[in-house]
Amino acid sequence: MNRLALALLLVAALVVAGCPKPTPTETKTTAATPSTGPMTLTVWDWHAADPSKGVGLWLTNIDREFERANPKVKINHVAQSHTEYYEIFKAAAAAASPERGPDVVMLHQGSRILDNTPSLTPLTDYVTPDFRKKIVGWEVTCEGYDPNGTPWAVPIAVQGLVWYYNRTLLKQAGLDPNKPPTTWKDFLAACDAMKGVGKAGIAVGEKEGFWSDWFINSAYFQTMTPQDKVDLVAGKMKWTDPKIVAILERLKELSDRGCFQKGAMSTPLFPDAGEAFMRGEAAFFLGLISDVAHWKEFGEMMGPENLGIMTCPVFQEGPNSTKFPTGGAFAYAVTKWSPHPKEAFDYIAFVANDEHATTFLTDVGSFPANQTYDRALISDPNAKTIAGWLAENRTGPQMTDMAATEVGETLRRECQRVLTGQTTVQAALAAVRKTAEEVAARKRAGS
């Protein structure tokens, strides 16, 4: 038994080394106190885990600043795992009371907010017209996907989808890095040229079906009008509409023609596909403008001078064909059970204020939803291009964010089946349409 004893001793030693001060279990006991007394605001997010850099550091600094400005309020920032976030949130919501559960929660844009409104406080009384005006992305945090509807969350970061390309590889294949292929015909030719020099056209990660989703979002401006999108959500336009068929046909064309890198179907979009692009295995990458898989990460790894940026290659000319989709990357909401909704909103407004919008761009390297940031502070050439596009309003909402989660899931899986030859574009969209109709029928039955 000596070794066992030794092991137990070891574990005990680790315990002692691990917790120099045994902290008592601290539960939120301040909840019942009136708003004027000292209080603790519990904030949940999936970014706070790493307080040493990026969004985590930015938020930690903001918490301390907020506490200095509001000495009676203590911020209890709880880092939650991103993967299990909504399971934990659902359980907390099912049994929440003012004494328990977070006051402020980070949520993804779109259906994640609007499907969870039973657990949230409407922010109508707090969001002033001025505040509304300087922040973008309300269309994915407000009732009915209407930017002027009841606000359920405040967008903090802006996300968007743009196409990145590797200038060095384009040069290698005999193409002009200053004139990226903007038409569909040129784009296909460029992919062929890359194959000619032993590289792939596009770095694609389709393991989760996300790439198809992104492609559809990036390309839908060419065939669909803004009204079409509204009709689609309302069920007036069908998923089997020729305008949507056309987009999926292009997706299939890219795959059939061999534009994807090898093993695209089992490659995770994050981080593997982006890494393949950074390694120079493929010339193009449909990426983000904030957070990861974006200009900052690519610039650091590849050198900003080797990176180019463009919008979706155009297969169908139209007034909006060079737009790119944007939406809130993440947003903060106040929970329904929070005993301090006003202070909770004050905290969110503090996070979203002008000064923090600027530090979000300069320190984190992501685009803030608050548009009052100082554009002069941007030094990265690609970020400058994006900021310019944002300023000239070359953006539109994403298409699939507004679909119910279940419809999006079906769409992604059916796209995977199209790309692996298990189904046709028509049959795939028929399946998506069926899901959309079932979801709508259930909604009607429920209300």
- Report residue 163 as tokens: 């196409």
Size of the site for another protein (CB under 8 A): 84
Q: How far is CA 419 from CA 161, 192, 209, in A?
A: 21, 19, 10
Q: Which one of 10-18, 31-39, 65-73, 319-327 is the stretch in contact with another protein (CB under 8 A)? A: 10-18
Considering only residues 147 through 186, tell me which ones interact with another protein, judged by CB under 8 A.
Answer: none
Whose Cβ is closer to another protein: residue 2's or residue 36's?
2
Q: Using CB under 8 A, which of 34, 37, 129, 446 touches another protein?
A: 446
State the Cα angle at 249 between 244 and 252, rounded to 5°: 130
Considering the complex, what minimum distance in angstroms separates the CB of residue 211 from another protein?
Answer: 12
Question: Smallest distance from the beta carbon of 239 to another protein, in angstroms?
Answer: 17
Residue 50 binds to another protein (criterion: CB under 8 A): yes
Please pick, from the candidates 225, 227, 372, 420, the single residue that binds another protein as defined by CB under 8 A: 420
- Nearest approach in angstroms of CB 274 to another protein is 8
Q: How far is the CB of 430 from another protein (least distance, A)?
A: 13
| Cβ closest to another protein, residue 95 vs residue 391 | 95
Burial 18-29 (b: 16+ CB within 10 A, else e): eeeeeeeeeebe
Q: What minimum distance in Å lies between the beta carbon of 416 and another protein? A: 4
For another protein, the binding residue among 65, 143, 186, 208 (CB under 8 A) is 208
Instruction: Using the rule CB under 8 A, give the single segment among 64-72, 89-97, 134-142, 374-382 that binds another protein.
Output: 89-97
441 forms part of the interface with another protein (CB under 8 A): no
Site residues (CB under 8 A) for another protein, limited to 260-319: 262-268, 270-272, 275, 278-279, 291-293, 297, 301
- Within 100-119, the residues that bind another protein by CB under 8 A are 100, 115-116, 118-119
Minimum distance from residue 265 beta carbon to another protein (Å): 3
Looking at residues 372 to 401 of the shown chain, list those that interact with another protein (rule: CB under 8 A).
none
* Strand 154-155 versus strand 331-334 pairing type: antiparallel
Q: Which of 29, 36, 52, 128 binds another protein (CB under 8 A)?
A: 52
Q: Distance between alpha carbon 333 and the CA centroid of its chain, in Å?
A: 16
